[in-house]
Structure 1
Amino acid sequence: MSGHSKWATTKHRKAAQDAKRSALFSKLSRNITVAAKEGGDPNPDNNASLAAAIEKAKGYSLPKDKIKVAIDKAFGSGKDAANYETTRAVRATVTINPRPAVIVANSATKTAGAADPIFTGTVTGLVRAGDLGAVSFGRSNAAEGVGFYPGVIGATFLANPNYSVTVVPGSLQGDTASVSCKP
Structure 2
Amino acid sequence: MFDDTGRRRFLQLAGTGTAASMAGCSALSNHNGGAGGEETESATVTLAVQPDQQSLQELQSEIQSQVQSGELDRMQAQREFQQRRAELTRNAVDDFRNRTGNVSVSVDDTVSQFGVMRVSGDPAALIETLSFEEVSGLFPASAFEQAQAQAGTSTASGTETPTG
Q: Tell me if both proteins adopt one fold, taking TM over 0.5 as the criterion.
A: no
**TM-score w.r.t. length of structure 1:** 0.21
Higher relative contact order (CA 8 A, sep 6+): 2
Q: Select the structure that is richer in helix.
A: 2
Greater Rg over alpha carbons, structure = 1
